[in-house]
Structure 1
Amino acid sequence: MKLKSVRVMTFNIRHGRGVDNEINLPRIARVIQDAGAEVVALNEVDRRTRRSGGVDQVEELANLLGMEYAFSPSIEYQGGQYGNAVLSRWPIEAAHVYKLPELGPEVRTLLYARIAWDGEPLHCFVTHLGLCDDEQRAQLRQIAKVLEATPGPKILAGDFNFDASLVDWLNELPATMRELWTLQQRERLFAHHNGLSGNTFPSRDPKKRIDYILASEELELAEPVLPVHTLASDHLPVVGTLARRM
């Protein structure tokens, strides 16, 4: 029986603006490349907005990294759009945008990308949840319906805007979806990483863990899930390696 693997990252890039207040997409690309990420969930991505100089940011990142991409606009902003995106080293066969329940000031979406992963589909979902409790839980319930209707290996990743003290809210999702940081801590999968906080925000002095990767039970955690320390954004990216037995 052989294994195939995928290295997954989630990264809220704050339209490429680092803690130095400079928008620097090559710096974001280096973080992704240095981490060896093969599928990347991105939040707060600009497409042709004035503040970002009219650049299509996910297209630029894809070109810098030699990857495929899909984009999910959530709002119209400064003459362009702002939303979520996926980067993939494998072909993206299809993409779809789901609008999530809107109980706050900003439209939130779920981006779906079907990735041709070495002979079978890998279903990748990216979201950036709202800011209030009721909104977040309603959005999770809607995401759960989409996940339940999608058979096969699945990843859900993004900025959920609630910290680890509320991680039980993820029980709104199907039981087959495991939050990877919690899984590795509970199962003591990588003992030398136990006791770390996993905090991702703010990047200069992380106090909260609000960026998550979940994977369905078809996928095993092959290498530790860890934040990547960088000042390229106000969030730290999170990266881990998943494997599937064939």
Structure 2
Amino acid sequence: MNIIRVATYNIHKGVQGLGPARRLEIHNLGLAVESLDADVVCLQEVRHSNRLEAKRFPMWPELSQADFLAPQGYEAVYRTNAITRHGEHGNALLSRWPVLSHQHEDMSDHRLEQRGFLHVMLNVHGKMVHVLVVHLGLIKASRVRQIAQLQRFIEREIPESAPLLVAGDFNDWGKTVQQAMAREGLHSWNARQPTFPSRLPLAQLDHVFARNLTPMGLMVPQGHIWTRMSDHLPLIAEFSLPIS
């Protein structure tokens, strides 16, 4: 049996706190990502660059955050969702498996939120596995339209028989996302695992959905170190990949 261990994590751009108490957490996040021991790590709010933060924090990495966070032997894929005054940020995928190709689709619904999703194709034990890294909007009406766009992309670009993972921060406090994903044959582990806010988790905003993969388990790391690095906790899911 081939097991795929997948993690999704909104890293809050590698910085936590407000005002003078703001602190750089990207170095701790590097150790944390490695400790997840995931084959595939799906990241949201990843900074490619930020000139203001680079001036503010002497230890700001020279590498982009996706490359900085990739454990040794992993391949990093990053695509920008938002361009800001001082830099840009988006989604990233870190893979222990070879990356075959990748693309990005913009799903910005209004001018106040720049959003998108990353589509990566991986070679896992000789089988092509599709992964979508998603970060949906804060407004419910926007999310409904973004989910519909995601569904159209899946129907258009991904063969129905192909193994598919859809992971990320869906910003949904209800069951709208689960129900929409189920209509595409995508399901997650039944047990609820709250991931937000990290200090007192009340809602599971982060999900890993799968099609043509068998769910094996779901867990959220606990402990003080995780609560200080981001406003989200990471979510780890394991799946078995059919052997053909």
> Please, what TM-score do these two structures have when normalized by structure 1?
0.85
Task: Summarize the alignment of residues 3-22 of structure 1 with structure 2, pairs less than 5 Å apart.
Answer: 3-18=1-16, 21-22=22-23
For the 8 Å contact 1:85–1:111, the answer to whether it is kept is yes
Which segment is superposed worse, 144-153 or 119-128? 144-153
Correspondence 1:201 to 2:208: no
For the 8 Å contact 1:29–1:65, the answer to whether it is kept is no
Q: Percent same amino acid at aligned positions?
A: 27
Task: Mark the runs of 5 or more structure 2 residues left unpaired by the alignment.
Answer: 55-61
Tell me which residue corresponds to 2:239.
242
Letter in 2 for 1:245: P
Letter in 2 for 1:240: A
Counterpart CA distance in 2 for 1:104 and 1:159 is 20
> Aligned pair in 2 of structure 1 residues 33, 203: CA closer, same or farther (>3 Å)?
same
Counterpart CA distance in 1 for 2:198 and 2:90 is 20
Counterpart CA distance in 2 for 1:103 and 1:76 is 14
For the 8 Å contact 2:52–2:86, the answer to whether it is kept is no
Counterpart CA distance in 2 for 1:161 and 1:168 is 10
Q: Secondary structure at the match of 1:42?
A: strand
For the 8 Å contact 1:140–1:170, the answer to whether it is kept is no
For the 8 Å contact 1:104–1:131, the answer to whether it is kept is no
For the 8 Å contact 2:170–2:177, the answer to whether it is kept is no
Task: Summarize the alignment of residues 41-190 of structure 1 with structure 2, pairs less than 5 Å apart.
Answer: 41-53=42-54, 55-62=63-70, 64-103=71-110, 105-149=112-156, 150-151=158-159, 152-163=162-173, 166-173=174-181, 174-180=183-189, 183=190, 185=191
Tell me which residue corresponds to 1:40.
41
Counterpart CA distance in 2 for 1:115 and 1:201 is 29
What do residues 93-136 of structure 1 show as CA deviations (whole Å, max 9, x unaligned)? 11100111513611110100111111011101011101111100
Q: What is the alpha-carbon root mean square deviation over aligned residues?
A: 1.8
Superposed displacement of residue 175, structure 1: 3.5
Counterpart CA distance in 1 for 2:49 and 2:154 is 31
Letter in 1 for 2:68: E
What do residues 132-179 of structure 1 show as CA deviations (whole Å, max 9, x unaligned)? 11100100011011122302001001111111xx21343233431002
Counterpart CA distance in 2 for 1:158 and 1:138 is 17
Counterpart CA distance in 2 for 1:122 and 1:169 is 22
Q: Secondary structure at the match of 1:179?
A: coil
- Match of residue 213, structure 1, among 186, 203, 208: 208
Counterpart CA distance in 2 for 1:203 and 1:51 is 26
Superposed displacement of residue 51, structure 1: 4.2
Superposed displacement of residue 210, structure 1: 0.6
- Match of residue 225, structure 1, among 199, 218, 226: 218
Counterpart CA distance in 2 for 1:8 and 1:89 is 11
Task: Mark the runs of 5 or more structure 1 residues left unpaired by the alignment.
Answer: 186-196
Letter in 2 for 1:10: T
For the 8 Å contact 2:136–2:146, the answer to whether it is kept is yes
Counterpart CA distance in 1 for 2:40 and 2:92 is 11
What do residues 186-207 of structure 1 show as CA deviations (whole Å, max 9, x unaligned)? xxxxxxxxxxx51111111112
Count of residues in Structure 1 that have an aligned counterpart in Structure 2: 225
Q: Secondary structure at the match of 2:150?
A: helix
Which segment is superposed worse, 138-147 or 53-62? 53-62
Superposed displacement of residue 29, structure 1: 2.2
> Aligned pair in 2 of structure 1 residues 207, 65: CA closer, same or farther (>3 Å)?
farther
Superposed displacement of residue 52, structure 1: 4.0
For the 8 Å contact 2:30–2:68, the answer to whether it is kept is no
Q: Secondary structure at the match of 1:146?
A: helix
Counterpart CA distance in 1 for 2:143 and 2:72 is 32
Tell me which residue corresponds to 2:27.
26
Q: Secondary structure at the match of 2:172?
A: coil
